[in-house]
Amino acid sequence: MNRPIATLLIVLIIASLTFSTFALFQGKFAAALSVYPLLILAYFLVRGFRS
32 Cβ neighbours under 8 A, 6+ residues apart: 19, 20, 21, 23, 24
Q: What is the DSSP letter of 27?
A: T
Amino acid occupying residue 15:
A
pTM for this one? 0.72
- pLDDT at residue 25, rounded to an integer: 95
- pLDDT at residue 27, rounded to an integer: 92
The segments of the chain whose pLDDT lies below 70 read 1, 49-51
Cα distances (Å, whole numbers) of residue 11 to 4, 29, 32, 39: 11, 22, 17, 11
Amino acid occupying residue 41:
L
